[in-house]
Structures are given as C-alpha cells and as structure tokens.
Structure 1
Amino acid sequence: MAAKARAVNLLRAASGASCRCPAHSGGLHYPVTSTPVRHAADIKNTDYAFEMACSNIRFGEGVTQEVGQDFANMNAKKVGLVTDKNISKLPVIQTVLDSLTKNNVKFDLFDDVTIEPTDVSFKKAINWAKKGGYDSYLAVGGGSVMDTCKVANLYASDPEADFMDYVNAPIGKGLPVTVAVKPLIAVPTTAGTGSETTGVAVFDLKDLKAKTGIGSRAIRPLLGIVDPLNVMTMPNRVAAYSAFDVFCHALESYTALPYNQRSPRPTNPHNRPAYQGSNPISDVWARQALRMCGSYMIDSINSTNNFEARKQMCAASAFAGIGFGNAGVHLCHGLSYGISGNVRSYHAADYPTEKALVPHGLSVVITAPAVFKWTAPACPDRHLEAAQILGRDTTNDKLADAGDILADVIRDYCYKLNIDDGIQALGYTSSDIPALVEATLPQERVTKLAPRQKTKEDFAQILESSLKMY
C-alpha cells in the first residue's frame, strides 16, 4: 500500500508540474481534485454520459436578410415575431420586415418585451401567442427577447399547462417538456447571452424577488442567425455587460463540476439535464470563447466603430453559448439572481427603463473575482489556464495561487471596462447579505454545478467579499 501511495503522489506531482497551456491541458479525463471525496454510493449514482446539443447557427455579415426565405422554405403560414420597443426602432427590424414581406410570409408583431423579463411580462407574451395560432416564431433582440419568445412558444404549444409546471425545481415543478413546440428562429442583437444556442429562458419571479428560469433542450431555437451588423448599435454599457456575460459563461462552464461527478444519474436519458457539467466538448467551446474575449473584448467595448472586435465578440457569444448550454454555469449566475432581483435604486446607464435595474451581465461579473478565488481549490489547473488564456503570463505561477491569480485577472478586466466597485455600489450592504443568500438557495439548477461542495456560509462569504471589488 505504501508503494502504491508513493506512486500516486508521484503522478500527482508530475501532473502539477506538466505543461498547462491550452494545447496540452485538455483531454477526455478529469484529474483528481481537492473536491471532497464521494462515498461509493454517490459515485454509483453519478452520471456516466453527456450529450451535445445546440441550435443550428448561421454566421455572417448581412445574413439577417435571409430570414424570410427561411420561413418560406419551412412553408410557414403565420409567424409570431417577438421584439422590444427599442429594437423595433433599429434598422435590423426593417431588414427583417422587408425580408418577410418580400417572401410573402404572414406575421404578427409583439414588441412588448420587458428588459430583464418577469413572470408577468412572460405571461403577457404567452397570452398573445395563444391567441395568435402561430406555426412558427421569430425572435429579434437580446436575451430578454429570445427568452420571452421561447417561453411564449412553449406555453402556446401546451395551452393547458400551469405556468409553474415548467419552471425549474425547486421553485417550480420542473416537468420535462414532452409537447412538440413550433420552430423558432432567433436573431440576436447583442453579443452576450448566447440565448440563440440554448434551451434556457431566465426571468424574475416577482413574488420571490429572485431570478429563476425554464431549461429544456426542447425549447432551443431551430436556428440562430448571428449577424455582426446587428451589434454595431449597442451602446457602451450594453456592450460591456453583454461581453461580461460571455466572459462568465465561458469561465463558469469551463470550471463547472465534471459531468461524471454530477448526480443523480438519470433513470431515463430524456431526463438528463441540459446543464450537465463540464465535458470534453463544452471545454472546446469555452476555451475558444475565452481566447476571443482575451483578444477582442476590451476593443469591442471601448471602440464603438471597431467592427472586427464586435464581430469576433458576436462569435464568442455563440461559442460560449454552446459551451454553457451543454455544461451549465454555476455560482456567478446563481448569486446574480438575488442581486438583480432585490435591486432597490440602481439605474444602469444606457438602459432605457425607469425601473431600478441591474443588467444581467453586471450582476454576474460583480461577484466573479470572489467566486473563482473560492472555486479554485477544486480544479486549480483550469483556473490557472483560464488566467493564461485571458493574458496572464503563468510561467512562474503556482497552482496553489490559481484562485488569487484568476481573481486579479478578472478584476483587471472589470477595472479597465469601468465596472462598478462591488455590490456595495449597486446599493447593497452587509445587512442585505442574508436576503441575498436566501435568494441564492433555490438556484440549485446552477449552484449544484459549482466544483466544490458549498454551504449558506460559503455564499455569505463570497457576497461579503464582493461588497467591494477593487
């Protein structure tokens, strides 16, 4: 036994000293980490497989003009077009309308989507969809628009369903989607959410003052039309918060609990969740999205006319969407839902709404330095590799310092892009932390994918550390 122990220690030491560059640190296996050891019964109950699923993606300058032909090719009789009042004033909508009209596609327009949608605004769109009798849908806008359209399609396809039937457990019933939904094409106008690639729709549940969502591969768009021309109109703060959503999607999915450590193992493949944990395929997309963020993110925000940078972040958004749409996200997103749901007075620049609002990307990145400092002991190699991809020279860095190193890298990006100095700047104090923790506890769909086992005290510690960022 002693010889075996020495051999294991030697292998671990060799692994820690080996090259950590992106070309050599991947693979089909996951290294032993400092995650608490699982009992045999737990290991037997963990999953042993993962699935790869995403929407079809069409990428290119000007591809928005093809959307009418797409619906004509599908023999669509009546399309439900979903957008918001701000997008409806931009050139992209005229391009869409011209294309639909040119190809003799009948449609109705719904433009009453709420930025950061709620259960109330979702239900408004659902009622519209139920009355319309649409055989296909088109979403043109950011994540709020695409998520609203997914949900309208779902409940119009299952008109007898109660709203909470499909809402993620434990808040809702989390029932699997077994009805056939209509084809949905998504045209994103921000470079951030990746919603055109996923079967996830997020909203504020007003009674709980917290975000939750609906997640099922069944509701993902049939096609995402990613046209870089559509993101050139993003104002500075919209571009910044959208980019940080990409940034955190990639970081969280890459450092998520490995798929073969997630439990319970589904008794039926139909019940395998969309968020499966990090896996060899999602890793490819997450790494590439991080590389693109490292190369183009700052220029895409600070230089409005830098078309190449915004084009690349458009692609990074879709890449990260494929990554997290299969692996999932974890604590940055889990904690963000209480931060955005409990906002009292913060008003984000460049967001045309009178209500207090913490934009999603801001609510996600504001805890990121503290989150990744905390998660690093579970997979320090991945945290250090992420820091390297984002521009850090890690030649002389130690795995033991990975959390502090990645936190510093994230903090530097935030500082350069004028992100507020912690949740205190959003109106929160230490006295608010218990409420923010309580809002995080129901977010098991994502928090369970953190690579370390966690407690209420851990959530409180991360939030306390996030009161100030710099």
Structure 2
Amino acid sequence: MASSTMRFGEGVTREVGQDLANMKAQKVLVMTDPNIAKLPVMKTVVESLKANGVPFVIYDRTRVEPSDQSFQDAIDFAKQHKPDVFLAVGGGSVMDTCKAANLYMHYPEADLLEFVNSPIGKGSVIHKTLSPLIAVPTTAGTGSETTGTAIFDYKPLNVKTGIANRKLRPTLGIVDPLNTQTMPRQVKIASGLDVLCHALESYTAIPYNERTPRPTNPAERPAYQGSNPISDIWSLEALRLTVKYLARSANDPLDKEANAEMCLAASAAGTGFGSAGVHLCHGMSYPISGLNKSYKHPEYNVDHKIVPHGISVAVTAPAVFRYTGEACPDRHFKAAEIFGADVSSKVRKAESAGPLLAEQLTKFLENLGVPNGLEALGYTKDDIPALVKGTLPQHRVTKLAPLETGSEALEKIFADAMKNY
C-alpha cells in the first residue's frame, strides 16, 4: 500500500512557497491551464513563491483532457527549463500532464509510448527516481494528487490510455477546499462523478489475492492490484461522502461543508483506487471520449469538443454494475445501501444485487441532470463495434473487473448504456 503525503484545510495553498523553500528548490516549474491561470488560486501560489524567494517558471498551456500532443508540448517545456521541482496547480488534466513532464524530463531520449501501458505502449518499468512534485488540486474529482497515474488521449488510435507507476505519485498533495469554489456547476458534477466511479469500481474490483500470475519481480507489480482490505475502507468512505454531498456542492458553490467533504472524497477515492484500481466504467470511458464526434459539454471553457472524463465514466455505470452484480453481490448490496436502498433479507437475492445498484445509480444520475446515456453524447448502436474495439486494449483496468469481460459482454453493456432513464 503506497500513498502520497497529504495536507488538507482551507487556506493551506499559501504554505506552498514555504514547502518549496524548505525543499531548497532552485527552479520550480509551475504547471496550470489557461483558465486556472486567471483564478485566485494562481495568485495565491505566485504570491507565496515570491514571498519565500522561490525561483519559478510558469507553463499555462495544459489542455483540459490532455492528448499525446499536449503531453509532448509540456514535456518539451520541462526539458528546456530543467526544473528541480514541479508544482501542479489545477485539475486532473494539469496534475497528469505534470507527472508526464516530470517522467520524460528524466528520460529525455524515450519515446512517448515507452512507459504507456501495454498493449498500446511498451509499459516499460520506471527505474529512475523522479523530481519532487507538489500537487494543488482545483477540482474535487480525479484524486490525481494521490495516485501514480497520468491519463491522456492517444490521437492515432482515438482512445484514452495512460501511464501507471507508483513513482509518478506526487510528493505532497495540498488539498484546499477554497480552490474548488470557482468550479462551474457542470465541472463540479463531472468531477464528482469521477469520484463516484472511482469508489464503486475499486470496491468491486477483483480481490488482490486472486490476480494472477504473480510478477516475477516486485518492481513489476502493478500499481493497480485489485480490491484489498485497506482500499475498501477508503473507497466506501468516498462513496458515502459523494452520495451525501455531491448534489449539495453542485447546487450551492458557497456550501463550505459540501465543498470540503467532496475534496476529502476525491482524495479518499484516489487513495482507494490508487491501490486497488478501477475497471469497466473507466475502461469503456476511454473510447467514449476518444471517439467523440461533436459533443461539447456545457460550462467547459475550452476550444475543442469534449466529453468530460467524469461524464464518460458515469454514463455506463448503471449498465456496468447491472452486469457485475453476480460476481460479488454482497459488495453491490453494500453500495446500494449507501445510496439508500432497502437491502433487507427479504430482497437480498444474489441475482438482484446488480439491478438494485443500477437502479440507485440511475436515480442519482437523473437527479444531477447527467446526459441520458450514450445516445445523449451522440452515439448510436452502430458505434458499438468501434467502442468495443477501443475498450479491448485497456488491459490495465479491464482485467480488474470481477468478471472476465470479452467482446460479447462489452457489446451488451454498451447497448444497455445507450439510454439510462
């Protein structure tokens, strides 16, 4: 079990300059995106760095939902400036891009696919120690401040993929609820749905002691190892918090309690899935985002079409858990109970676990106004073969599903996810 050091509380962002001074940082690369660059959090960060005499350079070109090209641009910038410490200020896109820049700065001759998960990339082991990285999340969603994962769109194949290795984990995550107050409602919802699926998928992933074969060397042990007794604690707590506070946080940007609890939920889920992993919702989400024809989600201030990551994972969630219920019914019943379902002995039949959780998820998504399945994102049943084809290479996550899931099963799940309510 591995995790990043975390600091939580309102106003802790202003301490980052002292942290970097304590680390004796000589040159800090501050990475953000064009929207965050204009917000109070960046003013706080810059003032803290200047007040503590920390030399820095800013990269503010991070792409929301990064691509191989945007990763490469950030990597080139890092190679040019050669910082000794990285500081990511933003959502998951910023933190993931910063991790990639840190990694490839230390492997300047490596091709981008060198460390990308197999079979899309080579999946090479990271042997070098990377530079320290401090992450200051501005969304309550990805939990990237706790994980060794960096996700991006690989344009040549029109799918999302990523790099997963414990050495990518931030040295310190600074979680300040004040930084999430400026999130638009739709960004809050999408971010929170990522937390929801992180929690549900890691809790229902294949148990760690059923994964085979055992790696021949501990260095080759995957970052995602299956559900385990420690990750279960974090995943269930993240689920409870999200069910209780996501709608409140989305509906009232000044609800300090809800904002703070969603920040905790995101980091808790990150700690859980950073150890256990995720499975089908995420594996299927990658082609949903990558094959997007024209959909652009409201309130996302970007110049490109976009299915936000949290939306792409959530639209298949009812269909996924309707399918996986038979593999571990007790866990599906437990999750459904957290949503408020009656799981008394009178209805506790194994075959009803998946449908019961799917019903609760559907109500939750409808209440938040989430797009009604894949059709609402512009997909039809004619797109299912391409969506299946894009999911099959996502071995990093699909192999963590509690049931073996081949092409035929994926076709049925995608068909079931065309419309949710």
- Candidates 209, 225, 239, aligned match of 2:174: 225
Residue equivalent to 1:182: 131
1:58 Cα deviation after fit: 0.3
- Candidates 456, 464, 470, aligned match of 2:407: 456
Within-5 A mapping of 1:279-294: 279-294=228-243
Count of residues paired in the alignment? 419
| Alignment partners' CA distance in 2, 1:288 and 1:448 | 24
1:238 Cα deviation after fit: 0.1
Within-5 A mapping of 1:74-93: 74-93=23-42
Question: What 5-or-longer segments of structure 2 have no aligned partner?
Answer: none
State yes or no: 1:245 paired with 2:181. no
- Candidates 183, 194, 214, aligned match of 2:143: 194
- Candidates 341, 366, 370, aligned match of 1:419: 370
- Candidates 290, 294, 304, aligned match of 1:345: 294
Residue equivalent to 2:417: 466
Aligned 8 A contact 1:294 1:391 in 2 = no
Note the alpha carbon deviations across 1:285-339, whole angstroms, 9 max, x for none. Answer: 0011111112212111122221110110000000000000000000000000000
If the length of structure 1 is used for normalisation, what is the TM-score? 0.88
- Candidates 363, 368, 388, aligned match of 2:337: 388
Identity of aligned residues (%): 57
1:390 Cα deviation after fit: 2.1
Q: Secondary structure at the match of 1:310?
A: helix
Residue equivalent to 2:76: 127
| Alignment partners' CA distance in 1, 2:242 and 2:168 | 28
State yes or no: 1:56 paired with 2:1. no
Residue equivalent to 1:25: none
- The residue type equivalent to 2:400 in the other structure is L
Residue equivalent to 1:37: none
Q: Secondary structure at the match of 2:140?
A: coil
1:162 Cα deviation after fit: 1.5
Aligned 8 A contact 1:254 1:282 in 2 = yes
| Alignment partners' CA distance in 1, 2:5 and 2:99 | 15
- The residue type equivalent to 2:109 in the other structure is E
- The residue type equivalent to 1:221 in the other structure is P
RMSD of aligned residue pairs (Cα, Å) = 0.7
- Candidates 164, 178, 186, aligned match of 1:215: 164
1:455 Cα deviation after fit: 1.1
State yes or no: 1:319 paired with 2:274. no
Note the alpha carbon deviations across 1:332-389, whole angstroms, 9 max, x for none. Answer: 0000000000001111001012321100000000000000010110000000000111
Aligned 8 A contact 1:191 1:231 in 2 = yes
1:397 Cα deviation after fit: 2.4
Question: What 5-or-longer segments of structure 1 have no aligned partner?
Answer: 1-51
Q: Secondary structure at the match of 2:254?
A: coil
- Candidates 322, 327, 347, aligned match of 1:397: 347
| Alignment partners' CA distance in 2, 1:397 and 1:302 | 34
Note the alpha carbon deviations across 1:171-211, whole angstroms, 9 max, x for none. Answer: 00000101121000000000000000000000000010000
Residue equivalent to 2:359: 408
Note the alpha carbon deviations across 1:114-133, whole angstroms, 9 max, x for none. Answer: 01000000000000000101
| Alignment partners' CA distance in 1, 2:112 and 2:278 | 24
| Alignment partners' CA distance in 1, 2:121 and 2:49 | 37
1:429 Cα deviation after fit: 0.3
| Alignment partners' CA distance in 1, 2:243 and 2:375 | 27
1:158 Cα deviation after fit: 1.3
1:391 Cα deviation after fit: 1.9
Q: Secondary structure at the match of 1:197?
A: coil
State yes or no: 1:96 paired with 2:45. yes
Residue equivalent to 1:26: none
Q: Which segment is superposed worse, 351-360 or 217-226?
A: 351-360
Aligned 8 A contact 1:293 1:390 in 2 = no
Residue equivalent to 1:38: none
1:400 Cα deviation after fit: 2.4
- Candidates 252, 272, 290, aligned match of 1:303: 252
| Alignment partners' CA distance in 1, 2:264 and 2:120 | 33
Look at both structures and tell me which one has the larger radius of gyration over its CA atoms: 1
Q: Which stretches of structure 1, 4 residues or longer, exceed 4 Å deviation after superposition?
A: none
Q: Secondary structure at the match of 1:224?
A: strand
Aligned 8 A contact 2:392 2:406 in 1 = no
State yes or no: 1:138 paired with 2:138. no
| Alignment partners' CA distance in 2, 1:393 and 1:171 | 43
Residue equivalent to 1:28: none
